[in-house]
């Protein structure tokens, strides 16, 4: 099941979606305070952030799970899911 299907309302347990939303809020804060919003489009910032997270996690030996147990997902998986969730939203990623 792809990330879009997983993030569809009603698929994840409410507690897991809340954790993904918390990660999303943290990512928004990192992007909002790290780079002026007008300088770069939000999705470009999200892509760069996700690449950085993925690069660092891979360097530390992390590999994406073939099947995700969302109730017990690791930090990296949840953070990348949150970035995907932010990228799919209609509102700009850096909007407070």
pLDDT class of 6 with cuts at 50, 70, 90: low
Asked if residue 33 belongs to a domain, the reply is yes
Asked if residue 68 belongs to a domain, the reply is yes
Asked if residue 67 belongs to a domain, the reply is yes
Asked if residue 58 belongs to a domain, the reply is yes
Does the global pTM surpass 0.75?
A: no
Residue 77, domain extent: 14-88
Asked if residue 8 belongs to a domain, the reply is no
pLDDT value for 94:
44
Number of domains comprising the chain: 1
Asked if residue 74 belongs to a domain, the reply is yes
What is the distance between the alpha carbons of residues 5 and 60, in angstroms, rounded to a whole number?
Answer: 28
Asked if residue 34 belongs to a domain, the reply is yes
Q: Which residue has the tokens 């569809």?
A: 8
């Amino acid at each position: 099941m792809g990330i879009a299907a997983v993030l569809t309302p009603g698929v994840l347990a409410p507690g897991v979606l809340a954790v993904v939303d918390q990660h999303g809020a943290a990512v928004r804060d990192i992007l909002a305070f790290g780079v002026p919003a007008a300088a770069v489009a939000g999705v470009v910032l999200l892509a760069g952030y996700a690449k950085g997270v993925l690069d660092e996690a891979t360097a530390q030996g992390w590999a994406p799970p073939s099947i995700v147990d969302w109730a017990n997902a690791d930090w990296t998986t949840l953070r990348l899911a949150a970035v995907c969730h932010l990228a799919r939203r209609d509102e700009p990623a850096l909007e407070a």
